[in-house]
């Protein structure tokens, strides 16, 4: 059975084949091949700077359809609630220090608040660097984690449902989160969070499943 979507399909664009090897490795590294079948719209055409793929994630001969990361706005939007709390605490502390009783110098309080906010944003940036989303002609892959790296992968033939979820902050910034459900689980297995062009990416995934999913289920 083919997956369908009401999303308007993007026009087919020519694709070029790219190859990258790690010269420092003593053993052969599988080439990273990009699809040349017109499936992928103009979302990603090369590996984005900062996209990190752990060794041996891709199989020899596996063709990349999409290789993306969350939007850089993820660095601020994901911890927005925590950042707001830090800002409110800093402002309340400044107000209490200035108008009730002066415990510390106001500049020291402001500096501590700035450090807390900056540290939270820096950690979220490191977490953003760890996230990579890959769609190939065989599998869907999600990589994340700073101290503990988590690699989720599933064959295309196992994907039963894709869903675009958009919070208010994502709607205001034009982003969206893709959720994936696989056969036999009954719940969402993985997310591609806060990506650009979520409906266009979803449409590409559906077309890729329709084209390659049946082939993978027979292998």
Distance CA 42, CA 34 (A): 13
Q: Is the domain of 114 the same as that of 59?
A: no
Residue 25: what pLDDT? 44
Residue 217: what pLDDT? 55
Between 102 and 156, where is the model more confident? 156
Residue 12: what pLDDT? 41
Residue 98: what pLDDT? 81
Percent of the chain with pLDDT over 90: 56
The pLDDT tens digits of the residues spanning 85-126 come to: 999 999 999 998 888 777 778 888 899 999 999 999 999 999
Q: Is the domain of 192 the same as that of 103?
A: no
Q: Which of 47-51, 56-60, 158-162 has the lowest mean pLDDT?
A: 47-51
Q: Which of 10-24, 142-156, 170-184 has the lowest mean pLDDT?
A: 10-24
Residue 176: what pLDDT? 97
Task: Kindly indicate the confidence band of residue 55, based on its pLDDT and cuts at 50, 70 and 90.
Answer: low
Q: Is the domain of 115 the same as that of 193?
A: no
Burial class (CB in 10 A: 0-12, 13-18, 19+), 92: exposed
Q: Is residue 28 part of a domain?
A: no
Q: Is the domain of 82 the same as that of 65?
A: no
Q: Is residue 22 part of a domain?
A: no
Residue 32 has pLDDT above 90, yes or no: no
Phi, psi of 83 (to 5 degrees): -60, -40
Residue 107: what pLDDT? 86
The pLDDT tens digits of the residues spanning 168-214 come to: 999 999 999 999 998 767 789 999 999 999 999 999 999 999 998 76
Residue 52: what pLDDT? 59
Number of domains making up the chain: 2
Q: Is the domain of 43 the same as that of 61?
A: yes
Q: Is the domain of 144 the same as that of 189?
A: yes
Burial class (CB in 10 A: 0-12, 13-18, 19+), 55: exposed
Q: Is the domain of 85 the same as that of 139?
A: no
Between 12 and 131, where is the model more confident? 131
Strand ranges for the chain from DSSP E: 33-34, 63-68, 132-136, 139-144, 150-155, 159-165, 175-182, 188-196
Residue 16 has pLDDT above 50, yes or no: no
Q: Average per-residue pLDDT in the chain? A: 79
Q: Is residue 108 part of a domain?
A: yes
Residue 46: what pLDDT? 42
Q: Is the domain of 63 the same as that of 84?
A: no
Distance CA 94, CA 112 (A): 11
Residue 207: what pLDDT? 94
């Amino acid at each position: 059975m083919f997956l369908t979507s009401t999303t308007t399909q993007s026009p087919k664009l020519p694709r070029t084949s790219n190859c990258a090897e790690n010269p420092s490795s003593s053993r052969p590294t599988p080439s990273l091949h990009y699809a040349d079948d017109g499936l992928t719209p103009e979302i990603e055409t090369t590996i984005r700077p900062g996209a990190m793929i752990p060794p041996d994630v891709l199989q020899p001969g596996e063709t990349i359809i999409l290789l993306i990361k969350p939007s850089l706005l993820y660095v601020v939007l994901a911890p927005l609630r925590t950042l707001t709390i830090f800002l409110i605490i800093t402002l309340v502390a400044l107000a209490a220090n200035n108008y009730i009783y002066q415990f510390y110098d106001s500049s020291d309080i402001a500096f501590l608040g700035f450090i807390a906010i900056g540290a939270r944003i820096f950690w979220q940036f490191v977490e953003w660097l760890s996230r990579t989303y890959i769609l190939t002609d065989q599998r869907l892959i999600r990589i994340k984690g700073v101290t503990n790296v988590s690699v989720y992968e599933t064959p295309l033939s196992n994907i039963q449902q894709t869903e675009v979820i958009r919070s208010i902050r994502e709607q205001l910034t034009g982003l969206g989160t893709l959720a994936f459900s696989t056969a036999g689980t009954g719940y969402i297995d993985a997310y591609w969070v806060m990506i650009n062009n979520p409906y266009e990416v979803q449409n590409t995934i559906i077309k890729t499943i329709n084209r390659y999913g049946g082939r993978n289920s027979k292998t």
